Structure 1
Amino acid sequence: MNARSWWLMISVGLGILLNPLNSSMVSVAIPNLQNVFQLDFTRVSWIIFSFYIASAVAQPVMGKASDLFGRRKIFLTGLIVAFFASMAAPLSPNLGWLIGFRIVQSVGTSMMVGVGMAIIRMSITKNQATALSVLSIFLSGAAAIGPFIGGILIHLWDWPAIFFINIPFAVAGFLLAWRTIPKDEPPASVTRGMSFRKWLHLIDASGILLFTVGLVALLVGLLSVKSSGPITVGNGIVGLTGLILLLAFIRHELKTASPFIPLRTFAKYPAMTWVNVEFMLANALYYSLFFGIPSYLQTVRHVSEFHTGILMLCLGVCSLAASPLAGRWIDKSGPRPALFLSAILMTFGSVWLVTLNPTSPVISVCLALAAFGISNGLNNVGMQAALFQSSPKEIIGVASGLFNTSRYLGTILSSLLIGTVMGGNFSFEGFRTLGIILTVIALSLVFMSRRRR
């Protein structure tokens, strides 16, 4: 590849890393934000919920929007939105404003992830595999070292620093992207001259609204089980309303011509459906530990943000180291052995969490982190290979979109699990209960991987 191609990859990489970086850095900041805003764990956990719900909705929508408005315009706009959201978030007077800016930040960073991949595919015609592997390093590397960077930043400059750190990336990414990303071609004939109303129909705005409002309402109802003791009539009505809206969403998606989430595809290809179910459960496991361990270390063990970030680096390093080894293994033996080992390691890590007590050596947490890190590296490559095996070539684009949706549903499920188990305050008893639940989920993944052909 020539120098221009490398600069293009760097400019796109600086944009797409902002989404995983901001989703992972916050894991170390949760206890700190609880103290700042004087709120319980369940309320503060909406900082996590809001980011993932917004990403789950925004990424597929922005993929469609790029066809209408152009990939370059969407990418540059995303950098601008992320810049202003990162500037404004530290000025939030309360948690509500902070969550609002996190949603805006999530939308801005989501504008770059899927669009960035498409820019590389369209602009670099030779050595595309190398180019995409470089971008995957930006994505996985940012997620892996996010807690480490967050721990250092909070230790040195307090929680606003995890937002200010985005500013140099956004500025550098914008300047490079402006110079290196090719100008957009005229819109395709399908979208040329399309009215705003027709575009809303194209992206399935009704389905997006039903999904978002229904999911948020259901989460509010479920979280009220622990956060406020007995379920009040109001919370019960909110939760029931959310469930009804999600059922209406399913009915709508089955009938509309351009669904936000093509549910009929799941029914048509059951093998692909099971891959997505496994991927969702695996991500629920991984991110429950990802967000649970930092709170355990800081709240139960009173470890500083700085040292928490260093310990969490074990998770990221093991995940990054396992990924290339998993690729070679899966090329030779297929995804089944790797996914089986991944499930075994998750089971070991979950059981190890249950054996911990308030006086266990802090370094022993690294065993669970290493087990989950290696399993995550195996799982990411193995599940992607299993998806390709189970999905017909003619729907691989749709399958990949559903695959990413499963990832986000898993992360949302992990946040719900932690918030429900912990209730208002993070405690050691709740952490042990979480370990037991994760063990059950891990054992179900062992069973699923053994049944895989």
Structure 2
Amino acid sequence: MKNRNRWLLIAVGLGVLLNPLNSSMVSIALARLQVVYQLDYTAVSWVVFAFYIASSIAQPVMGKASDLFGRRRIFLAGLAVAFAASMLAPFSPGFGWLIVVRIIQSIGTSMMIAVGMAIVRIHIKENQAAALSVLSVFLSGAAAFGPFIGGVIIGWWDWEAVFWVNIPFTAAGFALAWRYIPEDHPDESALKGIPLTKWLELMDAKGIILFAAGLTSLLLGVLSFKSTGAAALWQILTALGGLALLTVFVIHELRSASPFIPIRTFVLYPAMTRVNIEYMLVNVLFYALFFGLPSYLQTVREVSVFQTGLLMLSLGLCSLAAAPFAGRWVDRSGPGPALMLSALLLTFGSLWLVMMNTGSPVASVCIALAAFGLSNGLSGVSLQAALFQSSPKEIIGVASGVFNTSRYFGTILSSLLTGVIMGDQLSTGGLRRLALALTAISLLLLALNRKRLRAALR
């Protein structure tokens, strides 16, 4: 690989790692934020919800915007926005301000995720597969090691450090991107004279508003009911209003010529839909543990934030170790056997947490974390392969976008599941109830893979 291409790859890598890094580091900071802002776990979970809702909207929107305004511009703008948000977040005068800054941070980091892969594909011609695999390491490594990094820096400083840590990444990424990402020149003449209504239709502004308003209203209604322990009229109306808005959103997307989320694709290709459902469920399982366990360890078991980060390291290490093994296995045997093992590991890890009590050694959580980590490494590669098998070549770009959307749905649902089941006051009983729910979802994954199981046994 040419020296210039190496620097381009590093520049893109420094940008794309910011989204998974900032979505994972905060799992360690939740317990500390509860203390700082005197909030319960359900309320502080909006730091997670806001980030993922904004990411699920911003990434497809910015992908469209890059075709109109150029990928280099979007990438550089994303770095600037992420830098500004990381500078402002530690000075938030209240929790509401922190949520706003997290949304801005999510939009900035999503701008780079949306165009980073395309930049590499367009500008690195030699050893492209190797370049894309390196980019994947940036993404998966940031997500896997985020809790450990968060635990270390919060242990040394405080929660503000999870934002300060972005500064060197964004500064270095901007300098390298400015120098090594080539200019692209979209046909700006085609943009002139387009009326505002056409712009809004092209970006599916109505769909975006319906999705954001519906999902936020539904989550607000459900979580506020759990927080207060009683259903007030406004909570019921908020939740029902959210469901109504999401129903209108689905109808609109089915009719839209330029949908924000191409729901018609799910209807036309049931095999691909099944893969996306599995991917969503896998992410529900993984991120429910990812966000719920660190807060439980710090709040209930009184484990220090630094030690929590060390314990969570087993999740990241096992995930990274399993990925290359999964790639070779899937090449030989297809995705079926690896996906079955992944589901079995999730079931084992969930049952292990069910059996834990206040007398169990804290270090024993590493067994469940290792099982979930190995499963994540196996399922990430296997489901990507299953997606390519089930998707027609002519819609592979759309299929990849839908696949990523399924991941965000899974992470949002995981936060909702954790908040509803574990409640305001974390406890060992709450963790056990969460583990029982995760066991049920794991068994559902096993059921979805029963055909693959029979094929693997033959």
Number of aligned positions between the proteins? 453
- Give, in whole Å, the separation in 2 of the partners of 1:222 and 1:59: 26
Deviation at 1:422?
A: 1.9
Partner of residue 85, structure 1: 85
Work out whether residues 67 and 187 of structure 1, in 8 Å CA contact, stay in contact via their aligned partners in 2. Answer: no
Deviation at 1:336?
A: 0.4
Letter aligned with residue 206 of structure 2: S
Between the aligned residues of both structures, percent identity stands at 66
SS of the residue corresponding to residue 257 of structure 1 reads coil
Deviation at 1:187?
A: 2.3
- Give, in whole Å, the separation in 2 of the partners of 1:180 and 1:112: 15
Which residues in structure 2 correspond to 1:68-217 (within 5 Å)?
Answer: 68-187=68-187, 191=191, 194-217=194-217
Q: Does 1:258 align with 2:258?
A: yes
Which residues in structure 2 correspond to 1:257-336 (within 5 Å)?
Answer: 257-336=257-336
- Give, in whole Å, the separation in 2 of the partners of 1:19 and 1:296: 24
CA deviation vs aligned residue, 1:33-62 (integer Å, no higher than 9, x gap): 000000111100000000000000000100
- Give, in whole Å, the separation in 1 of the partners of 2:69 and 2:193: 11
- Give, in whole Å, the separation in 1 of the partners of 2:121 and 2:197: 30
- Give, in whole Å, the separation in 2 of the partners of 1:180 and 1:307: 40
- Give, in whole Å, the separation in 2 of the partners of 1:52 and 1:163: 17
CA deviation vs aligned residue, 1:157-186 (integer Å, no higher than 9, x gap): 100000000011000000000000001223
Deviation at 1:93?
A: 1.1
Partner of residue 428, structure 2: 428
Letter aligned with residue 183 of structure 1: E
Partner of residue 380, structure 1: 380
- Give, in whole Å, the separation in 1 of the partners of 2:140 and 2:369: 16
Work out whether residues 152 and 305 of structure 1, in 8 Å CA contact, stay in contact via their aligned partners in 2. Answer: yes
CA deviation vs aligned residue, 1:261-316 (integer Å, no higher than 9, x gap): 11111111000001101110110000001011101211111000001001101000
CA deviation vs aligned residue, 1:395-443 (integer Å, no higher than 9, x gap): 0001000000000000000000011112212121111100000000001
Deviation at 1:210?
A: 0.1
CA deviation vs aligned residue, 1:217-237 (integer Å, no higher than 9, x gap): 001111123111111001111
Letter aligned with residue 371 of structure 1: A
Partner of residue 38, structure 1: 38
Work out whether residues 80 and 170 of structure 2, in 8 Å CA contact, stay in contact via their aligned partners in 1. Answer: yes
Q: Which runs of 4+ in 1 moved over 3 A?
A: 188-197
Letter aligned with residue 395 of structure 2: I
CA deviation vs aligned residue, 1:17-39 (integer Å, no higher than 9, x gap): 00000000000000100000001
CA deviation vs aligned residue, 1:90-147 (integer Å, no higher than 9, x gap): 0011111001100000000000012011111110112110110010000000001100
Partner of residue 10, structure 1: 10
- Give, in whole Å, the separation in 2 of the partners of 1:379 and 1:347: 14
- Give, in whole Å, the separation in 1 of the partners of 2:44 and 2:438: 22
Deviation at 1:451?
A: 2.5
- Give, in whole Å, the separation in 2 of the partners of 1:281 and 1:269: 19
Moved more, 198-207 or 374-383: 198-207
Deviation at 1:450?
A: 1.7
Deviation at 1:193?
A: 5.1
TM-score by length of 2: 0.97
Decide whether aligned partners of structure 1 residues 340 and 87 sit closer, same or farther in structure 2, where only a CA change above 3 A counts.
same
- Aligned CA RMSD, in angstroms, stands at 1.1
Work out whether residues 67 and 186 of structure 2, in 8 Å CA contact, stay in contact via their aligned partners in 1. Answer: no
Work out whether residues 68 and 192 of structure 1, in 8 Å CA contact, stay in contact via their aligned partners in 2. Answer: no
- Give, in whole Å, the separation in 2 of the partners of 1:35 and 1:310: 22
Partner of residue 351, structure 1: 351
Work out whether residues 315 and 370 of structure 1, in 8 Å CA contact, stay in contact via their aligned partners in 2. Answer: yes
Partner of residue 220, structure 1: 220
Letter aligned with residue 314 of structure 1: S
Work out whether residues 70 and 187 of structure 1, in 8 Å CA contact, stay in contact via their aligned partners in 2. Answer: no
Deviation at 1:195?
A: 4.1
- Give, in whole Å, the separation in 1 of the partners of 2:397 and 2:195: 26
What residue ranges of structure 1 are gaps of 5+ in the alignment? none
- Give, in whole Å, the separation in 2 of the partners of 1:257 and 1:186: 22
Work out whether residues 300 and 428 of structure 2, in 8 Å CA contact, stay in contact via their aligned partners in 1. Answer: yes
- Give, in whole Å, the separation in 1 of the partners of 2:297 and 2:384: 32
Deviation at 1:198?
A: 2.0
TM-score by length of 1: 0.98
SS of the residue corresponding to residue 359 of structure 1 reads coil
Letter aligned with residue 330 of structure 1: V
Work out whether residues 225 and 420 of structure 1, in 8 Å CA contact, stay in contact via their aligned partners in 2. Answer: no
What residue ranges of structure 2 are gaps of 5+ in the alignment? none
Decide whether aligned partners of structure 1 residues 340 and 190 sit closer, same or farther in structure 2, where only a CA change above 3 A counts.
farther
- Give, in whole Å, the separation in 1 of the partners of 2:195 and 2:156: 50
